[in-house]
Amino acid sequence: MVVLLGICLQFGMSAAQTLQAPMSAPRDFGMLGVIGDPQISSGLFNNPAGMSRSFVYAAEGQYLRLAKRQLNVMGFNVVDSKTQPSLAVGIGYGYGFTDKSADFDITSHDARLALSKTVIDNRLFVGVGFRYIRETVGTDDAAEVMDGFTLDTGLLFALTESFALGAVGQNLLAVNGLPRRAGGGVAIRAQSFVLDGDILVDFDTKAGEKSLVYRVGTEFLIGESVPLRAGFEANQATEAQYVAGGLGFLQTQGARGNQLNLSYKQRVDRTDEVESVLAVGVTMFL
């Protein structure tokens, strides 16, 4: 954790702009807290070290709807720890666009590549994620463009099968709209239950001031086929609070199968406008 914080503090950026099209897995929007238990594509987006913890080849398609901006995001990602077990690989791409009736136009491209390796079998995992983001807000000469490459790092330490610690450094290279963050998560796992609590330090959203982001998420597996999820986030950087929920439908045939995920996240500290995200995803285990 100290190393990640040290790396993060070496880079600076302007926080004048804010990324409008956040890309993540549908599971993440239902739980919010996932750093200590980053399963499959949750690792690609939140803690790349988690991709090595399970033996899996999974492809996922997703659709996100952000009501406030009338913004649609379509994405696809693959996480593979089967083909080369010594080095798990995740790739992803998301494209965002607004409705024709939106107040202003937004287009975004979000591409990711993440690598993860097991350092100690079943115990210690490390990972790194590379990301290219390009987002245009507005049109013609008035358009604001956020464009650049950034870097994430991650670590996951499984003390036992039921207890894990995660640490991350996010957006370590300067890109407008992506605040540098560092922090960690603690996860408790049972056969049909997960509880994850995360704390992140945001270095850039409030100029010259560090802010905390608290997240907690839980997941229950009912009948070995229906995961139910819930989460809460308190973001001191944006002075916002969110609640979330989701469910999935899992069908397996031996090592193969598929899962449909539905999630919903909404801001609850203000009621004058709806700020929400609806996430739908289909995952195929190959």
Read off the tokens for 169: 């450094």
Work out whether strand 106-120 and strand 124-137 pair parallel, antiparallel, or are unpaired.
antiparallel
pLDDT at residue 157 is higher than 80: yes
For the ranges 22-26, 163-167, 185-189, 209-213, which has the lowest average pLDDT? 22-26
pLDDT for 15: 31
Read off the tokens for 258: 């598929």
Angle at 263 between CA 262 and CA 268, to 5 degrees: 155
d(CA 78, CA 111) in angstroms, rounded, equals 12
Read off the tokens for 82: 């089967």
> What average pLDDT score do residues 47-51 get?
97
pLDDT at residue 69 is higher than 70: yes
Q: What is the mean pLDDT of the chain?
A: 91
d(CA 223, CA 23) in angstroms, rounded, equals 30
| Alpha-carbon distances of 33 from 90, 240, 272, rounded to whole Å | 20, 16, 26
> What average pLDDT score do residues 130-154 get?
92
- Band the pLDDT of 277: cuts 50, 70, 90: very high
> What average pLDDT score do residues 227-248 get?
96
Q: Which CATH code is given to the segment(s) 2-285? A: 2.40.160.60
> What average pLDDT score do residues 91-120 get?
95
pLDDT at residue 198 is higher than 50: yes
d(CA 250, CA 94) in angstroms, rounded, equals 24
pLDDT for 17: 57
pLDDT at residue 8 is higher than 70: no
pLDDT for 125: 97
> What are the domain boundaries of the chain?
2-285
pLDDT for 2: 38
In the block, tokens 């995803």 appear at 281
Q: Give residues with Cβ within 8 angstroms of 28, minimum separation 6.
A: 34, 42, 45, 46, 263
Do 70 and 100 form a contact (C-beta atoms < 8 A)? no
Per-residue H/E/C for the chain: CHHHHHHHCCCCCCCCCECCCCCCCHHHHHHCCCCCCCCCHHHHHCCHHHHHCCCCEEEEEEEEEECCCCEEEEEEEEEECCCCCCCEEEEEEEEEEECCCCCCCEEEEEEEEEEEEEEECCCEEEEEEEEEEEEEECCHHHCEEEEEEEEEEEEEEECCCCEEEEEEEECCCCCCECCCEEEEEEEEEECCEEEEEEEEEECCCCCCCCEEEEEEEEEEEECCCEEEEEEEEEECCCCEEEEEEEEEEEEEECCEEEEEEEEEEEECCCCCCCCEEEEEEEEEEC
pLDDT for 207: 85
